[in-house]
Structure 1
């Protein structure tokens, strides 16, 4: 153990929260080495204490992160009997400071933040932890494969804007002090906290935290950048009734309209009427998807968020009027030209959102198999759900007297785990002799995945 004063000169206090203090410090061994030093607010009795061992193990993982939009972690020490973290000093302003000064961001600047933070989260959410092999392949979910780092405290205080040598802005995600690699540990630690206004609904419920929890918090930040305020503000953290109300809003209340909030902010800042909302429809949908109450309806990882973002920029996002929350978003411009009946796959932690147009008189539905030479169904669902057979059920298309088609669902193979029509999963399954006539909005379950029938 060392004394802080023997190792560093403290240049200034950057911040002080409930569990730590952060300083700008200069190394006494190397005066050119200026760092951000974070010191946790609890005293260690020895270097073998479990708290310090856990802290040290996590720092060893964080030290390996190497991404331009993620703060660089240098090492850990015990200083003044407290765990201390040495990291890159990022010279710039936090988003919180910028918002306080400017009110809200331009669309262009907001997009810049989204692009860089999505890249940072993509790196973290798909980070391979040495020795931590996936429990199951084919899914992005940390619940299943545990190969991810979750920041767990994304808010405007933890994103700094700095300038590169070329004069362009770089946004850096800092303060991984609440991050974790094993999500099961979050229930037994202070890591469940984070700033209340940015806290995902599942955190309030005490449910397992996953990568979509980061997506929700970033969604709140994006909403705030565009409007100058979070969707659900709170005035006093010490007021029990306010915090209870905030919890219920995150869990159940609809998010205030993004365009209305931006135009209100414009009028307040300029004292001029806002004639129209300047937020592109696809960007509004991106924010809406980030802020879905159910984690399965959000982007699962930073990689999915980034893909949607760049498809939006490229004009590949097809937006229907008053897009329904949770619906499949078509990012393939060729699909918009197709007509006829289709199946919509609702995403969950095992299965990604997909859409299949029924173009044959007999179509098989099953789980995708990417092995060379493997037989595949006509609609091969991309999923890691092992309860879905390779040929699970079938759709029959028959011509009708009016020149159109009628469609029927059957399970005549039959599948081992059953197909459940217009009912909760694992309740009443289709028999091998049943042909269920399909109409708009009918749905059925294969394994843990819900498919919805659409008739154009």
Structure 2
């Protein structure tokens, strides 16, 4: 057993349970560990002692925190950073799969469509991170993981954290450099000004290697490799592999231009070019504009989304670009949100600027929210006749709490209490009945109508969330959770007789559900990392398809008849 492993187990006892060393080299050694408080497996990376010795731990941790804000489907997030004795470490989720380095070593060149798709996914991650002000500086096959056929970039921001945390010395004194010579842009190797375009160059090197089966430059020493990057032209990709389309080869070669100004201006431009080159293999998802989702200085925002001319048009053209309208601009947490009876007014409950949860209204044509004159509450549902179902209470941050269910007309009046210990509720289409999730003893009951139990969770400590009545009024959909405080569960559709008509597979980080015609649309995490970045649709047979993928945590709250989605984005 290595001395470092023993030291880590002693220093991090009670925080992480260190299992074994997975490998590593260069700047870090890699360990498999369990984060005890959350019971999840993580990868714990420890910086090399010679490197850690010249770094400021405080500055390193600060830079890691900056990078940890990145939330994107193709970025492995950083979870934590700290010191264990003399060792500096950082953690990230354990991702199932293999590295691109391992795939290339075993297989050599990849099929052209797969290489183009992986290149596009990495470019999409770079475009997002660059907009957030984070440059990777060490893009290479070792830092690209392949999980369920998708690329996930790891160690984002670590190179910056290392270079920014140098304390009274230079990395040269340690015998190490930030970056890998085989994948280093000429300006980076020359220690000249380096910006996001160095990542584009590195991605060009990776793309060349995926398509040709070998890197475009070689050398027996690091110095020889650096010289090749700075002085030699790369081999023509179409000569190295004639089956590579000339247009795709041209894209790779532009990434590999020696001068940064001759490369793509940014990774977003590269993504757009790759999408145009491969329309048939481009991801079947709605293209998401990060600018439209950006909540400047805010933690969470409410957004109205429209897919072209409506749902039918979106179904016919799965790659149609949605239009976004940002509706909220304050710092805090949105608890619930619903369209009003006119499907223009939007009612939502939010904890803004440290306040308790209050009910607000907003319209897309005038995005200035107004607070309703009500006690603290969260709106749960709006009936077709203009009556509001409310959960009275302050509703602190975190998992939705049980409270008093009340009703009141939107035209005015005081809330009238109906039931206690209720967490979710929804009106039937005629506005006469309510489906509710109610705690009875230590168990959740799904009731439809209220007072008639139609389902109890299978797990002894299970629960329900987001009960929504179907447009026909004959069934109710909800998340059935593995535990009441959990976000791990499945979608169930139950009729009035208590028969489960449809059941999905289990998903992680489930939060947000609404009906669209005969389908139940919901938001959940597709895979590691567990960001709620995918909108799904389940039909009456329990079959599930992906509607769209979005960066970060997104919660679906309601859908208008014309296909507009009401979603909340958490940064």
Match of residue 125, structure 2, among 120, 124, 127 = 120
**CA 55–71 in structure 1, closer or farther in 2 if over 3 Å, else same:** same
Q: 2:93, 2:128 → 1: CA distance? A: 18
Equivalence for 1:26: 34
Match of residue 275, structure 2, among 293, 307, 310 = 310
Contact between 2:18 and 2:32, CA under 8 Å: does it hold in 1? yes
Is it true that 1:215 corresponds to 2:228 in the alignment? no
Contact between 1:183 and 1:209, CA under 8 Å: does it hold in 2? no
> Number of matched residues?
267
Is it true that 1:260 corresponds to 2:260 in the alignment? no
**CA 21–185 in structure 1, closer or farther in 2 if over 3 Å, else same:** closer
Match of residue 7, structure 1, among 12, 15, 19 = 15
Question: What's the CA shift string for 1:113-143, capped at 9, x where partnerless?
Answer: 011101100001111xxxxxxxxxxxxxxxx
Tell me how far 1:246 sits from its aligned partner. Answer: 2.0
Equivalence for 1:227: 212
Structure 2 matches for 1:280-299, cutoff 5 A?
280-299=245-264
Q: 1:296, 1:182 → 2: CA distance? A: 27
Q: Secondary structure at the match of 1:179?
A: helix
Match of residue 100, structure 1, among 84, 99, 105 = 105
Tell me how far 1:79 sits from its aligned partner. Answer: 1.5
**CA 67–299 in structure 1, closer or farther in 2 if over 3 Å, else same:** same
Equivalence for 1:174: 154
Match of residue 187, structure 2, among 197, 202, 215 = 202
Equivalence for 2:228: 249
Q: Secondary structure at the match of 1:104?
A: coil
Is it true that 1:161 corresponds to 2:146 in the alignment? yes
Contact between 1:44 and 1:82, CA under 8 Å: does it hold in 2? no
Equivalence for 2:49: 42
**CA 56–292 in structure 1, closer or farther in 2 if over 3 Å, else same:** same
Equivalence for 2:523: none
Q: 2:200, 2:18 → 1: CA distance? A: 35
**CA 189–245 in structure 1, closer or farther in 2 if over 3 Å, else same:** closer
Q: 2:37, 2:165 → 1: CA distance? A: 37
Structure 2 matches for 1:351-370, cutoff 5 A?
none
Q: 2:278, 2:145 → 1: CA distance? A: 24
TM-score scaled by length of structure 1: 0.54
Tell me how far 1:158 sits from its aligned partner. Answer: 0.4
Question: What's the CA shift string for 1:82-136, capped at 9, x where partnerless?
Answer: 1211211111100111011111100111011011101100001111xxxxxxxxx
Q: Which has the higher strand share?
A: 2
Q: Secondary structure at the match of 1:180?
A: helix
Match of residue 69, structure 2, among 64, 67, 86 = 64
Contact between 1:198 and 1:220, CA under 8 Å: does it hold in 2? yes
Tell me how far 1:206 sits from its aligned partner. Answer: 1.7
**CA 184–38 in structure 1, closer or farther in 2 if over 3 Å, else same:** closer
Equivalence for 1:76: 81
Contact between 1:92 and 1:162, CA under 8 Å: does it hold in 2? yes
Contact between 2:134 and 2:157, CA under 8 Å: does it hold in 1? no
Contact between 1:69 and 1:171, CA under 8 Å: does it hold in 2? yes
Structure 2 matches for 1:370-381, cutoff 5 A?
none
Contact between 1:184 and 1:208, CA under 8 Å: does it hold in 2? no
Q: Which has the higher helix share?
A: 1
Q: 2:211, 2:55 → 1: CA distance? A: 43
**CA 210–192 in structure 1, closer or farther in 2 if over 3 Å, else same:** farther
Tell me how far 1:6 sits from its aligned partner. Answer: 4.4
Structure 2 matches for 1:411-450, cutoff 5 A?
none
Tell me how far 1:312 sits from its aligned partner. Answer: 2.1
Tell me how far 1:234 sits from its aligned partner. Answer: 3.1
- Name structure 1 gaps, 5 residues minimum: 128-147, 164-168, 236-241, 263-276, 316-456
Structure 2 matches for 1:122-137, cutoff 5 A?
122-127=127-132
Q: 2:162, 2:223 → 1: CA distance? A: 28
Contact between 1:211 and 1:300, CA under 8 Å: does it hold in 2? no
Question: What's the CA shift string for 1:45-95, capped at 9, x where partnerless?
Answer: 99xx96111111111111111001001111112123312112111111001
Contact between 2:55 and 2:165, CA under 8 Å: does it hold in 1? no
**Alignment RMSD:** 2.9
Q: 1:21, 1:58 → 2: CA distance? A: 20
Tell me how far 1:7 sits from its aligned partner. Answer: 3.0
Equivalence for 2:243: 278
Contact between 1:4 and 1:80, CA under 8 Å: does it hold in 2? no
Q: 2:121, 2:22 → 1: CA distance? A: 23
**CA 101–43 in structure 1, closer or farther in 2 if over 3 Å, else same:** closer
Q: 1:243, 1:182 → 2: CA distance? A: 20
Q: 2:200, 2:52 → 1: CA distance? A: 37
**CA 63–6 in structure 1, closer or farther in 2 if over 3 Å, else same:** same
